[in-house]
């Protein structure tokens, strides 16, 4: 390309960076906020990063001359907790996902927290692409905000801000999406009720033969976001209190079952967690139902597999997709069982991934 004066305004090649993050599947679900303004969860959740569901994000500083006012001036992560950002201190983000521009309002709180945490006030451009359908209930927001938080923190570091800890990056990701706090932490992570960040329970090597079969029922975008759905559940469902009350005990028990690598015992809790979460939203006004007829066919298939002695423990999130927890030995049995069901594409088989990474 011929060089001309405009080239000076373009990001420098060495200024851009690329990160990879994974969708995070909750074995024990987060549903409902204790504090909506700070995006703190009402229930503890336990999640795993899924190697088969990846998001790659390229981050560019839009104006290389707009350097951060960093040099050791970074605040503790979670600056958003205590004070509102002055209007002009927030970085601006232009984000595209699979080539489609995103509404800047969705990222404003995140960018404000990022600026306050790192002191970086330049404008950014991020281009994200997912290996799976976005917005269909496959935790694309968890992977997306984990990638953004890691990428932005690395960009700020390359421009002089102190390196953020994994927990600080998790707290930053949480401002964008609660489940993203877990996606920053690889392997098995726990995000306690009311906490600002997730922490690691065990890395991926703890349970190498654990697998998740992802049955995509439809690639259509969901009409009701998890953020709106959980808020409606909190405000209108008479079962929300019971859901929250029970969640702590389930999470403690799940931690023990993960430590023991007991798939049958963990699977039983995984099923109870998603079923109770959906029961709480079915009782909202108006009721929230993400399940489709094909989702139920997959649930029936799991029942039938378990009756035949195959470990197949389903879970569902804010969407119609079904994810099935099993082990490497039984993946083929699960896939064969799904063959008769009209899914939106071949099921994906995932193992557990470690932390998201900076690739370049
Ligand atoms: O991260 P959010 O705000 O999209 O909420 C995620 C909610 C669930 O996916 C349904 C459960 C979870 O813990 O990931």
| Structure confidence by residue, pLDDT tens digits, 273-286 | 999 999 999 999 99
What's the mean pLDDT in 109-137?
A: 91
Q: Of all protein residues, whose CA lies closest to atom 6 belonging to ligand 1? A: 179
Site of tokens 């990879």: 20
**What b/e sequence results for 271-296 when a residue is b if at least 16 CB atoms lie within 10 Å of its CB, and e otherwise?**
bebbebbbebbebbeeebebbbebbe
Alpha-carbon span 29 to 26, nearest angstrom? 5
CA of 230 to the centre of ligand 1 (A): 9
Q: Kind of pairing, strands 45-61 and 352-353?
A: antiparallel
Instruction: Count CB-CB contacts under 10 A for residue 342.
Output: 7
The 3 state secondary structure assigned to the chain is CCCCHHHHHCCCHHHCEEEEEEEEEEEECCCCEEECCCCEECCCEEEEEEEEEEEEEEEEECCCCCCCCCCCCCCCCCHHHCCCCCHHHCCCEEEEECCEECCCHHHHHHHHHHHHHHCCCCCEEEEEEECCCCCCCCCHHHHHHHHHHHHHHHHHHHCCCCCCCHHHHHHHHHHHCHHHHHHCCCCEEEECCCCCCCEEEECHHHCCCEEEEEECCCCCCCCCCHHHHHHHHHHHCCCHHHHHHHHHHHHHHHHHHHHCCCHHHHHHHHHHHHHHHHHHHHCCCCCCCCCCHHHHHHHHHHHHHHHCCCCCEEECCCCCCEEEEEEHHHHHHHHHHHCCCCCCCCCEEECEECCCEECC
2 has a pLDDT exceeding 90: no
Site of tokens 């999406």: 177
CA of 226 to the centre of ligand 1 (A): 6
In this structure, of 2-6, 241-245, 313-317, 338-342, the range with the lowest mean pLDDT score is: 2-6
* Minimum-distance ligand 1 atom for the alpha carbon of 39: 3
* Minimum-distance ligand 1 atom for the alpha carbon of 180: 1
Q: What is the mean pLDDT of the chain?
A: 90
User: In the chain, what is the straight-line distance between the N-terminal and C-terminal CA atoms, in Å?
Assistant: 24
Q: In the structure, what pLDDT confidence band is assigned to residue 98 with cuts at 50, 70 and 90?
A: confident
Q: Of all protein residues, whose CA lies closest to atom 9 belonging to ligand 1? A: 317
CA of 24 to the centre of ligand 1 (A): 9
Alpha-carbon span 360 to 358, nearest angstrom? 6
| Structure confidence by residue, pLDDT tens digits, 304-336 | 999 999 999 999 999 999 999 999 999 999 999
* Minimum-distance ligand 1 atom for the alpha carbon of 145: 1
Higher pLDDT: 263 or 70? It is 263
Q: In the structure, what pLDDT confidence band is assigned to residue 205 with cuts at 50, 70 and 90?
A: very high
CA of 348 to the centre of ligand 1 (A): 20
CA of 72 to the centre of ligand 1 (A): 34
State the pLDDT at residue 99: 86
State the pLDDT at residue 134: 80
What's the mean pLDDT in 147-174?
A: 96
Ligand 1 neighbours by CB, cut-off 6 Å: 26, 29-31, 45, 139, 141-142, 177-179, 226-227, 317-318
* Minimum-distance ligand 1 atom for the alpha carbon of 24: 14
State the pLDDT at residue 331: 99
In this structure, of 124-138, 261-275, 296-310, the range with the lowest mean pLDDT score is: 124-138
State the pLDDT at residue 138: 86
Q: Of all protein residues, whose CA lies closest to atom 4 belonging to ligand 1? A: 226
**Contact between residue 267 and residue 325 where contact means Cβ atoms under 8 Å apart:** yes
> Exposed, middle or buried, 239 (CB in 10 Å: 0-12/13-18/19+)?
middle
Residue of 142, 144, 192 with the most ligand 1 atoms within 8 Å of its CB, for mutation: 142
- The answer for residues whose C-beta is within 8 angstroms of residue 286's C-beta and 6 or more apart is none
CA of 126 to the centre of ligand 1 (A): 23
* Minimum-distance ligand 1 atom for the alpha carbon of 318: 10
CA of 30 to the centre of ligand 1 (A): 6
Q: In the structure, what pLDDT confidence band is assigned to residue 105 with cuts at 50, 70 and 90?
A: confident
Q: In the structure, what pLDDT confidence band is assigned to residue 139 with cuts at 50, 70 and 90?
A: confident
Q: What is the pTM of this model?
A: 0.91
CA of 203 to the centre of ligand 1 (A): 21
Residue of 30, 40, 181, 190 with the most ligand 1 atoms within 8 Å of its CB, for mutation: 30
Residue of 179, 189, 321 with the most ligand 1 atoms within 8 Å of its CB, for mutation: 179
**Percent of the chain's residues with pLDDT above 90:** 78
State the pLDDT at residue 14: 56
Q: In the structure, what pLDDT confidence band is assigned to residue 222 with cuts at 50, 70 and 90?
A: confident
Q: Of all protein residues, whose CA lies closest to atom 8 belonging to ligand 1? A: 317
47 has a pLDDT exceeding 60: yes
**Contact between residue 24 and residue 51 where contact means Cβ atoms under 8 Å apart:** no
Measured CA distances, 47 to 74, 173, 189, 200 (Å)? 29, 15, 5, 10
- The answer for residues whose C-beta is within 8 angstroms of residue 303's C-beta and 6 or more apart is none
State the pLDDT at residue 140: 84
Rg (alpha carbons) of the chain, rounded to whole number: 21
Cα 137 to chain centroid distance, Å, stands at 10
| Structure confidence by residue, pLDDT tens digits, 52-88 | 999 999 999 876 454 545 443 444 444 444 444 444 5
CA of 6 to the centre of ligand 1 (A): 43
Measured CA distances, 247 to 33, 155, 233, 254, 331 (Å)? 13, 37, 15, 10, 29
**Contact between residue 148 and residue 173 where contact means Cβ atoms under 8 Å apart:** yes
Higher pLDDT: 287 or 221? It is 287
Q: Of all protein residues, whose CA lies closest to atom 10 belonging to ligand 1? A: 317
| Structure confidence by residue, pLDDT tens digits, 14-43 | 579 999 999 999 999 999 999 999 999 999
Q: In the structure, what pLDDT confidence band is assigned to residue 136 with cuts at 50, 70 and 90?
A: confident
CA of 46 to the centre of ligand 1 (A): 11
């Amino acid at each position: 390309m011929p060089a001309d004066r405009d080239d000076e305004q373009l990001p420098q090649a060495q200024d851009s960076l690329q990160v990879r993050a994974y969708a995070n599947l909750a074995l024990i679900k987060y549903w409902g906020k204790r504090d909506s303004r700070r995006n703190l969860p009402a229930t503890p959740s336990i999640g795993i990063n899924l190697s088969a569901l990846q998001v790659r994000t390229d981050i560019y500083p839009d104006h290389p001359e707009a350097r951060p006012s960093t040099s050791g001036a970074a605040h503790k992560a979670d600056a958003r907790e205590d004070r509102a950002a002055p209007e002009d201190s927030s970085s601006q983000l232009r984000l595209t996902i699979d080539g489609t521009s995103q509404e800047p309002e969705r990222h404003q709180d995140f960018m404000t927290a990022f600026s306050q945490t790192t002191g970086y006030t330049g404008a950014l451009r991020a281009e994200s692409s997912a290996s799976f359908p976005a917005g269909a209930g496959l935790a694309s927001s968890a992977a997306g905000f984990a990638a953004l938080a890691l990428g932005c923190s690395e960009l700020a570091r390359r421009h002089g801000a102190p390196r953020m800890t994994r927990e600080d990056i998790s707290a930053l990701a949480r401002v964008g999406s609660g489940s993203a706090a877990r996606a920053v932490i690889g392997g098995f992570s726990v995000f306690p009720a009311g906490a600002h960040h997730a922490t690691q329970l065990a890395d991926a090597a703890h349970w190498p033969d654990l697998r998740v079969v992802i049955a995509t029922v439809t690639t259509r975008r969901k009409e009701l976001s998890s953020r709106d759905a959980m808020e409606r559940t909190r405000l209108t469902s008479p079962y929300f209190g019971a859901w929250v009350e029970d969640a702590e005990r389930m999470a403690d028990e799940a931690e023990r079952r993960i430590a023991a690598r007991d798939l049958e015992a963990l699977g039983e809790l995984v099923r109870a967690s998603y079923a109770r979460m959906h029961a709480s939203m079915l009782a909202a006004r108006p009721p929230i139902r993400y399940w489709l007829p094909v989702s139920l066919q997959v649930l029936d298939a799991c029942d039938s597999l378990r009756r035949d002695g195959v470990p197949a423990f389903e879970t569902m999130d804010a969407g119609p997709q079904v994810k099935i927890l099993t082990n490497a030995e039984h993946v083929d049995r699960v896939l064969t069982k799904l063959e008769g069901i009209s899914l939106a594409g071949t099921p994906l088989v995932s193992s557990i991934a470690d932390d998201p990474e900076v690739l370049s």
